[in-house]
Amino acid sequence: MSATTKSPTASDSRTASGSRTPSKAARLLGDRRLPVAVTALLFLLMYLGGLTRYQNFGFTEPQVFLNLFIDNGYLLVAAVGVTFVILSGGIDLSVGSVIGFTTMFTAWLVERQGLPLLVVIPMALAVGAFGGFLMGYVIHNFEIQPFIVTLAGLFLFRGLCLVISKESISISDSSVSSMAERQVSLGIGFLSLGAIISLVVLAVAFYVLHYTRFGRRVYAVGGNEQSALLMGLPQGGTKIAVYTVSGFCSALAGLLFTLYIQSGDPLHATGMELDAIAAVVIGGTLLTGGSGYVLGTLFGVLVLGLIKSLIQFEGTLSSWWTKIATGVLLCAFILIQRFMTTRRKT
Amino acid sequence: MAEPRPVLEMAGIVKEFPGVRALSDVDFRLFPGEIHALMGENGAGKSTLIKVLTGVHPLDGGTITLDGRSVRITSPLQAQQAGISTVYQEVNLCPNLSVAENIFIGREPTRMGRIQWKQLRRQAAELVERLGLDIDVGAPLSSYPLAVQQLVAIVRSLGTGTSTGGGEGPGTKVLILDEPTSSLDRDEVLQLFALMRRLKDEGVAILFVSHFLDQIYEVCDRMTVLRNGTLVGEHMVRDLDQVGLVQLMLGKAMGQLDELHDQQLHSHAGETLVRAEGLGRTGGIAPFDLEIRKGEVIGLAGLLGSGRTELARLLFGADQPDSGKVSIEGRQVSMSAPNDAIGAGVAFCSENRKSEGLVPDLTVRENIILALQASRGWTRPIPVAQRDELVAKYIKALDIRPANPEARVGQLSGGNQQKVLLARWLITQPKLLILDEPTRGIDIGAKAEIQKLVVSLSEDGMSVLYIAAELEEVLRLSHTIGVLRDRRLVAQIPNGPEITTTRILETIASGEHQ
């Protein structure tokens, strides 16, 4: 298609009266919620598949479902942060390193410096948010591609891990383990504190993206940054804020990861930014920005988590199959997105 | 008759750019409830005047008075707050958001920081309805054609003056429309005009810039004419006819346009150059047969989106045909990529000269030489002397201004950019030249020159496929007129004295040629 001015919509829907309602089919295909529905459906099918195949191996326990949230809470929080960034048309590669750094930072302060956990938590969150803010500041003020700036962030935070310690630090502090073991019973099973926090983060993110001016600006900047500027929106501030949110979420994910694994290690969460990005994309958010839902990200994370569970239940497969399945899914979803966006244009 | 007080008065405006005096001592005034056309050739200073008014460029001299108070406007945002809104040729909205959101984003109604979606949609729907538009505000902006998006942009700009938008009347006092019609078709333009008249009745002062003289005469009340950065005069539209206006704009008589009428149309019985049989592409254009003879100019007429560009793109191999075949000079060619077409002697001047044709950061010389170098391959550079000679020849032949091969193309005016693009293809000496809207958005003088060039190229034996939105243009230049309707080539009419724009319009409307 050469230009939007010549798109068939321009001629097909033209009528003398000036009424221009797109056809129902076109609307359905163009509906931005469709990818989320597709991912949710995929999750449901995979889950049903698991139910039938492993029904005699305990897959039918509701706790198996709840474990998806417990085992992937940190990934969900990180992916929510990445959703903000990708919606705004950017990318954040520093997520995994910030998570790794937070585990080291927390373990070091609690174990080696003897600081109480409740003091360490706000410090870790502040460091992560400040790191995100700095990257956003550089991206906006020096007009550098987010890919490069956050790549620098990736190396920087991973390097800082090693500055703290080259060895992993296991946490024996009782406040940490008691917090990690805290469970909330739901009748049919239980959720860990980390899982609850991740769901709260998801709900807050949904509210922010859909019911605040800031959230709508994220979509506007991702839709067309130049237009957002000319519409008088504070596009620079929005971009900086988005990376700050992502940095904050990464640090929070790091704290949840620390609780989950009860140690700090310079190599923790290596490459997790890619899992987070994959979850966001599988959840139906367009990498070009401006289109997607944080709820889709939840399903993206659940699908990735379910793949892991299924492979564990299968028993004979090596864990590398998780990566292969993720790769295949990611590829399929990007193709679906491509198909949908070209459909929307024509 | 006592005139009311102008809502906007600009006096003695001076604007200088390094080496150029873009505006010298220009006066301009705008009355409430009128549509005022700002006229002038490209480079006359229209855009500069608008940019000064909207705070994009700082003033170098002169005063701006808004509503009787002297104002200093230093940024677009400040202009908006003062009640001056601008809608540009390109739609500056977010296609991924809904219409309602596009109207209100940045000033959504909120309660305790929470966006009140119901209220927002209701207000948007009211605003749209009050302006007599039929738009579903809940639908994403991208589901609407460009014309409607443009209307939405206007609706948005009206709301910016008030705190919550809608409510009691627009806060906008001055609405600037900078070439809003250049990519709209006739129906869409009418819709825009209806909206403009409605706003005018509500007392908004509208500044309208358009290259289409007919549109100016249809909708405007008053006009100000600029030439070379100076004020030529302010006239009521009804007191000045089109010929008079053009003479004011050009500063010379219309002779060069009249010449064209005498030049056109001598009989052409050249042999067949291109023959397309059953060529078509699903979703692009229905299969068509087309024969282009040597030295023939074929004009394509049809509404925007009727398949004109799609037909041309098939002939150039830019899109893959699903059916049919093309032969050039009797030999069948597979048009699977533009490279094949270029090899066979077909050249294509795209309508989007900025995005698809020229490289704005390269010089005039580099842009001209691009296609020729590409056809030779990078292993055989063109000798410097030969290159400079060729470039100089075409700069002269097409009268590209400034005649400086080192100038960066991005700094040239629209008409001159178009000429550079033409030069690039002419230098490869094509057998068939496809021109897609070559005169869009360029001034009337450059338009005439490009049209004359087409006539002389055809006399030299080059075939031309000419696409233009203005029927008069197609009619004046073409030997044969292909009429398109709903992505179908419905008729091929040999041009002659009895063919008029009305006949063509009837064919477009009815889909058949009597």
Enumerate the β-bridge partners of residue B346. Answer: B432
* Residue A178 exposed, middle or buried by CB count within 10 Å (0-12, 13-18, 19+): exposed
As a whole number of angstroms, the distance between CA B145 and CA B138 comes to: 15
For chain B, domains (ranges, CATH) are: 1-83+173-253 (3.40.50.300), 95-169 (no CATH), 254-345+431-514 (3.40.50.300), 352-429 (no CATH)
Interface contact A290-B147, CB threshold 8 A:
no
Collect all residues of chain A within an 8 Å Cβ-Cβ radius of residue B486.
11
As a whole number of angstroms, the distance between CA A179 and CA B440 comes to: 69
Least confident of A16-30, A151-165, A295-309, B76-90: A16-30
pLDDT single digits (tens) A243-294:
999 999 999 999 999 999 999 999 999 999 999 999 999 999 998 899 999 9
As a whole number of angstroms, the distance between CA B367 and CA B353 comes to: 12
- A210 vs B364, residue with greater confidence: A210
As a whole number of angstroms, the distance between CA A241 and CA A84 comes to: 10
For residue B167, name the pLDDT band (cuts at 50, 70, 90): very low
- A127 vs B230, residue with greater confidence: A127
As a whole number of angstroms, the distance between CA B507 and CA B514 comes to: 8
pLDDT single digits (tens) B220-233:
999 999 888 889 88
pLDDT of residue A121: 96
Over pLDDT 90: what percentage of chain A? 61
Could you list the beta-strand ranges (E) of B203-296: 205-209, 222-227, 230-236, 272-281, 285-293
As a whole number of angstroms, the distance between CA B509 and CA B499 comes to: 16
ipTM of the complex: 0.82
As a whole number of angstroms, the distance between CA B426 and CA B455 comes to: 14
**Residue A1 near chain B (CB below 8 Å):** no
Looking at the predicted structure, is the pLDDT value of residue B131 above 70? yes
Of B76, B94, B304, the CB nearest to A220: B94
Interface contact B136-A21, CB threshold 8 A:
yes
Of A10, A18, A344, the CB nearest to B305: A10
Interface contact B93-A224, CB threshold 8 A:
yes
For chain A, the maximum distance between any two Cα atoms, rounded to a whole number of angstroms, is 76
In CATH, the number for domain A32-345 is: 1.10.3470
Average pLDDT over residues A311-323: 84
For chain B, the maximum distance between any two Cα atoms, rounded to a whole number of angstroms, is 77
Sequence-separated (6 or more) residues with CB below 8 Å from residue A112: A169
For residue A343, name the pLDDT band (cuts at 50, 70, 90): low
Average pLDDT over residues B317-344: 84
Collect all residues of chain B within an 8 Å Cβ-Cβ radius of residue A220.
94, 97, 105
pLDDT of residue B266: 53
pLDDT of residue A5: 37
Mapped onto helix, strand or coil, the DSSP state of residue B54 is coil
**Whether B325 contacts B332, CB under 8 Å:** yes
As a whole number of angstroms, the distance between CA B371 and CA A49 comes to: 57
Looking at the predicted structure, is the pLDDT value of residue B165 above 80? no
**Whether A77 contacts A203, CB under 8 Å:** no
Q: What distance, in Å, lies between the first and last C-alpha atoms of chain B?
A: 52
Element (H, E) at A225: helix A225-230
Looking at the predicted structure, is the pLDDT value of residue B177 above 60? yes
- A4 vs B148, residue with greater confidence: B148
Over pLDDT 90: what percentage of chain B? 14
What tokens appear for B99 in the block? Answer: 């219409």
Collect all residues of chain A within an 8 Å Cβ-Cβ radius of residue B302.
none
pLDDT of residue B106: 83
For residue B511, name the pLDDT band (cuts at 50, 70, 90): low
Sequence-separated (6 or more) residues with CB below 8 Å from residue A187: none
Interface contact A9-B145, CB threshold 8 A:
yes
How do B480-485 and B488-494 pair as beta strands? antiparallel
Domain extents for chain A? 32-345
pLDDT of residue B369: 85
Centre a 10 Å sphere on the Cβ of residue A67 and count the other Cβ atoms it contains: 18
3-state secondary structure string, B424-489?
Answer: HHHCCCCCEEEEECCCCCCCHHHHHHHHHHHHHHHHCCCEEEEECCCHHHHHHHCCEEEEEECCEE
Q: Half-sphere exposure of B143 toward its Cβ, with a 13 Å CA cutoff?
A: 23
pLDDT single digits (tens) B394-421:
888 787 877 788 888 877 777 788 888 8
Smallest CA-to-CA distance from A321 within A304, A336, A333 is with: A304
What tokens appear for B258 in the block? Answer: 């009249």
pLDDT single digits (tens) A208-252:
999 999 999 999 999 988 888 878 788 889 999 999 999 999 999
Tell me the CA distances in angstroms from A212 to A76, B104, B107, B368, one per residue in order: 22, 13, 11, 51
Nearest CA in chain B to A16: B187
**Whether B49 contacts B13, CB under 8 Å:** yes
Collect all residues of chain B within an 8 Å Cβ-Cβ radius of residue A346.
283
As a whole number of angstroms, the distance between CA A114 and CA B102 comes to: 53
Smallest CA-to-CA distance from B264 within B451, B498, B492, B440 is with: B451
Looking at the predicted structure, is the pLDDT value of residue A91 above 90? yes
- A248 vs B467, residue with greater confidence: A248
Average pLDDT over residues B260-264: 47
Mapped onto helix, strand or coil, the DSSP state of residue A344 is helix
pLDDT of residue B263: 46
Of A3, A9, A22, the CB nearest to B352: A3
pLDDT of residue B396: 83
**Residue A213 near chain B (CB below 8 Å):** yes
Looking at the predicted structure, is the pLDDT value of residue A8 above 70? no
Least confident of A172-181, B97-106, B169-178, B257-266: B257-266
Over pLDDT 70: what percentage of chain A? 90
- B217 vs B75, residue with greater confidence: B217
Average pLDDT over residues B193-201: 90
pLDDT of residue A102: 96
pLDDT of residue A99: 96
Nearest CA in chain B to A87: B96
Q: Which of B143, B151, B179, B486 to mutate to probe the A interface, most A CBs <10 Å?
A: B143
- A257 vs B86, residue with greater confidence: A257
Q: Look at phi and psi of residue A143 and say left if phi exceeds 0, alpha if psi is from -120 to 50, else beta.
A: left
pLDDT of residue B353: 65
pLDDT of residue B360: 80
As a whole number of angstroms, the distance between CA B255 and CA A164 comes to: 83
Of B94, B310, B351, the CB nearest to A223: B94
What's the length of chain A?
346
* Residue B235 exposed, middle or buried by CB count within 10 Å (0-12, 13-18, 19+): middle
pLDDT of residue B356: 65
- A98 vs B419, residue with greater confidence: A98
pLDDT single digits (tens) B89-130:
777 889 889 999 999 988 888 898 899 999 999 999 998 888
| Closest chain B C-alpha to A145 CA, distance in angstroms | 20
Of B97, B310, B351, the CB nearest to A219: B97
pLDDT of residue B422: 84
Nearest CA in chain A to B109: A213
Collect all residues of chain B within an 8 Å Cβ-Cβ radius of residue A291.
96
Mapped onto helix, strand or coil, the DSSP state of residue A240 is helix
- A161 vs B361, residue with greater confidence: A161
**Residue A21 near chain B (CB below 8 Å):** yes
Secondary structure percentages of chain A, helix, strand, coil, to 5: 75, 5, 25
Within the 133-192 window of chain B, which residues sit less than 8 Å (CB to CB) from chain A?
133-136, 139-140, 142-148, 156, 160, 183, 185, 187-188, 191
Collect all residues of chain B within an 8 Å Cβ-Cβ radius of residue A22.
139, 143-144
Of A11, A223, A344, the CB nearest to B305: A11
3-state secondary structure string, A134-183?
Answer: HHHHHHHHCCCCHHHHHHHHHHHHHHHHHHHCCCCEECCCHHHHHHHHCE
Average pLDDT over residues B65-80: 84
Tell me the CA distances in angstroms from A29 to A22, A33, B99, one per residue in order: 11, 9, 18
Identify whether B402 is preceded by a cis peptide bond (ω within 30 of 0): yes
Looking at the predicted structure, is the pLDDT value of residue B254 above 50? no
As a whole number of angstroms, the distance between CA A100 and CA B296 comes to: 71
Looking at the predicted structure, is the pLDDT value of residue B147 above 90? no
Looking at the predicted structure, is the pLDDT value of residue B256 above 80? no
Looking at the predicted structure, is the pLDDT value of residue A11 above 70? no
What tokens appear for B141 in the block? Answer: 């902006």
Interface contact B95-A223, CB threshold 8 A:
yes
Q: What is the mean pLDDT of chain A?
A: 87
pLDDT of residue A27: 61
pLDDT of residue A242: 97
Q: Which of A4, A6, A216 to mutate to probe the B interface, most B CBs <10 Å?
A: A6
pLDDT of residue B319: 85
Helix ranges (H only) for B180-307 are 186-201, 213-219, 242-250, 255-263
Looking at the predicted structure, is the pLDDT value of residue B163 above 80? no
Collect all residues of chain A within an 8 Å Cβ-Cβ radius of residue B487.
8, 11
**Residue B309 near chain A (CB below 8 Å):** yes
For residue B372, name the pLDDT band (cuts at 50, 70, 90): confident
For residue B358, name the pLDDT band (cuts at 50, 70, 90): confident
Q: Edge to edge, what strands does the sheet with B488-494 contain? A: B346-349, B432-436, B463-467, B297-301, B480-485, B488-494
Looking at the predicted structure, is the pLDDT value of residue B45 above 90? no
Q: What is the mean pLDDT of chain B?
A: 82
**Residue B115 near chain A (CB below 8 Å):** yes
Smallest CA-to-CA distance from A99 within A117, A120, A70, A125 is with: A125
As a whole number of angstroms, the distance between CA A100 and CA A123 comes to: 15
